[in-house]
Amino acid sequence: MARKFSNVSLIGKFQSADGSETVLELARFLRGRGMESWIEQGTAGGIGKAADDFVAATYEEIADKADLVVVVGGDGTLLNAARRLGERAVPLVGVNLGRLGFLTDLPRASACQQLGKILDGHYHAESRFMLDAEVTRGGNRIFHTLVLNDVVVNRGNLGRMIELELMVDDVFVYHLRSDGMIVATPTGSTAYALAANGPILHPGVGGIALVPLCPAELTARPITLPDSCRIEIVLMPPHDARIHFDGAAYCDVRAGDQLRIVRSALEVRLLHPEGYGYFAMLREKLHWGAAIQRP
């Protein structure tokens, strides 16, 4: 049964003129349908006086009250919203202002029309799992966050390789000399991991991809693990490094620091326009050729 929506909140790409215009257009469209529409506080501040006619709300208020969140921007904007709203599993719809847009489905030109269909119950819903990532130093937690796309350990500003130790479920896997390692969900398998020759994981696959970055040993290949695994990566002496989470948050780490990653109990709920298909999306975004027409 289609969900009924009363409060629809809007989150826009930071300091984007195109994003501001689209957010206002959507807010007015929602008001015209008699719906309560909030604009995220930072987004409203970037828009300026034109947003004064609408309620400016914090992420916490949106998480508590919104039935649906419309994210205007690229995949990075949606990832940030998903991480900040993840504990409440508010359904998300993405309006694409970026280039590829694997997660943001609605074209800007027809955003109001497509959103209207979703509000009328014509949509495809799916859930994407998240990762729970923490960094410890000397047994003490120094960083913790949720991740929808990927965790990337890289060499930071170093001009040389770093060395990592990989453990899975407390079992030693290998020492790796490389530029780093990507740990990706199926959602993140079409992001940085894809550029590093990692596998594309269908969202229905319960797997986590480990993709080495420029490994010294050519036999260090990408591995897909069950999402029930506990992954631990230790930075070996003597170098420091940096860990990125969904390309937004980061943590500078020292030799001996430990990164632990498990599947989170929390999921992100995405609403796609009716007729959405995963492989159709891949064909469009990755420019895969059509089938050969045989006589």
Q: What angle do CA 100, 106, 111 make, to 5 degrees?
A: 135
240 is catalytic: no
Q: What angle do CA 88, 94, 97 make, to 5 degrees?
A: 140
Structure tokens at 219: 């036999």
Three-state secondary structure along 26-77?
HHHHHHHCCCEEEEEHHHHHHHCHHHCCCEEECHHHHHHHCCEEEEEECHHH
Q: Which of 75, 105, 150, 246 is catalytic?
A: 75
CA 147 to CA 232: how far, in whole Å? 16
What DSSP element (H or E) covers 127?
strand 123-137
CB 175 within 8 A of CB 164: yes
Q: Which of 222, 221, 228, 190 is nearest to 207 (CA)?
A: 228
- Tell me phi and psi for residue 212, to 5 degrees: -65, 145
In angstroms, the Cα distances linking 11 to 16, 23, 46, 75, 228 are 12, 8, 11, 13, 32
Compute φ and ψ for 240, nearest 5 degrees: -90, 170
Active-site residue set: 75
